[in-house]
Structure 1
Amino acid sequence: MRSVNKVIIIGNLTRDPAMRETQSNQPVCTFGIASNRQWITHSGEHKKSTEFHECVAWAKMADICHKYLRKGKLVYIEGYLKTRTIELPDGTKKYRTEIVVKDMIMLEKRAKDDAAVEDVIPEEEYIPHEQDEEAAISGMNISDSDIVK
């Protein structure tokens, strides 16, 4: 039976993207997204909840995210969930679930004083390069120790 692992999220960056390289020189960019959910209870009370999501982009998408995204910016992210297992020095295991970014759309125009970010991502830069991304992540079990800081 087929299954689906797809994430679509709109939220604000919680920090500037951090660019690193794996030991095999694959670019990887990590950043956080906060998304808000609002609802009204049966008693009419307004409720709000904020969720925080870790995102990781590879290859060309990593370059694009690092170049154009900034803390606080509203962004559309599409990708899939990936859970990594990290073994700590004491032998215990820690699990980290992240959104692997396949597509990204900036939903805000840049501020007039934000000269570091272009208004538009050039089309040739924006098109996801599936082969590069798949080669970067397929069959790889990346741990935090693999990432060169």
Structure 2
Amino acid sequence: MIKLQVIGNLGKDAVVNNVNGRNVINFSVAHTERYKDAQGAQKERTTWVECAYWTDRTAIAPYLKKGTQVYVEGQPDVRTYSTQDGKQGASLSLRIANVQLLGSRQESSMGSNTSSGTTSGGSTYQSTNTSVEQTSDMSEPADDLPF
């Protein structure tokens, strides 16, 4: 088994599709690597990863918005193709096993309160809550959580 882990920002909002009776959430993640070339000049290289998250639990989809930073892991698939001008190209796609929201550019600049949770499939999601004050009651055991 080959497993690929990517941390990056979503390039566009996620789309939920139904394929042969199964739900799939499609989105793209951009990972930008910064490095110095042989002359010492700062360079950037961006790799786009097309993601397909096959799940019946689509509650995370509204949180997968353009610009949101995510951690995804799954099985990679490299596809080759020919462009119209005859050049060879390749694309990297990922069949997602786990997705975690790390935040967004807006959250980091606003300084809002965030809460996180886990979907039943093991995926973690994070939501912003600016109007409700969160309280913590330590008198209840941790295994009595409602989710």
The TM-score with structure 1 as length reference comes to 0.62
Aligned length: 111
Letter in 1 for 2:9: N
Equivalent in the alignment of 1:69: 64
1:80 partnered with 2:72:
no
1:106 partnered with 2:101:
yes
Tell me if structure 2 keeps the 8 A contact 1:29–1:65: no
Q: Counterparts of 1:120 and 1:82 in 2: how far apart (Å)?
A: 33
Q: Greater Rg, structure 1 or structure 2?
A: 2
Q: Counterparts of 1:126 and 1:101 in 2: how far apart (Å)?
A: 11
Tell me if structure 2 keeps the 8 A contact 1:57–1:65: no
Identify, as 1 or 2, the structure richer in helix: 1
SS in 1 for 2:48: strand
For structure 2, the residue ranges without an aligned partner over 5 or more in a row are: 82-89, 109-113, 124-147
For structure 1, the residue ranges without an aligned partner over 5 or more in a row are: 87-94, 113-118, 129-149
RMSD, aligned α-carbons: 3.1
| Gap change, CA 1:127 and 1:71, over 3 Å in 2 | same
Q: Counterparts of 1:77 and 1:64 in 2: how far apart (Å)?
A: 16
| Gap change, CA 1:5 and 1:21, over 3 Å in 2 | same
SS in 2 for 1:10: strand
Higher relative contact order (CA 8 A, sep 6+): 1
Identify, as 1 or 2, the structure richer in strand: 2
| Gap change, CA 1:35 and 1:123, over 3 Å in 2 | closer
**Cα distance, 1:60 vs structure 2:** 3.5
Equivalent in the alignment of 1:6: 3
1:38 partnered with 2:34:
yes
1:19-73 deviations in whole A, cap 9, x for unaligned? 11112x1001100111101111222111111111100000135x14413211110
Q: Counterparts of 2:103 and 2:43 in 1: how far apart (Å)?
A: 26
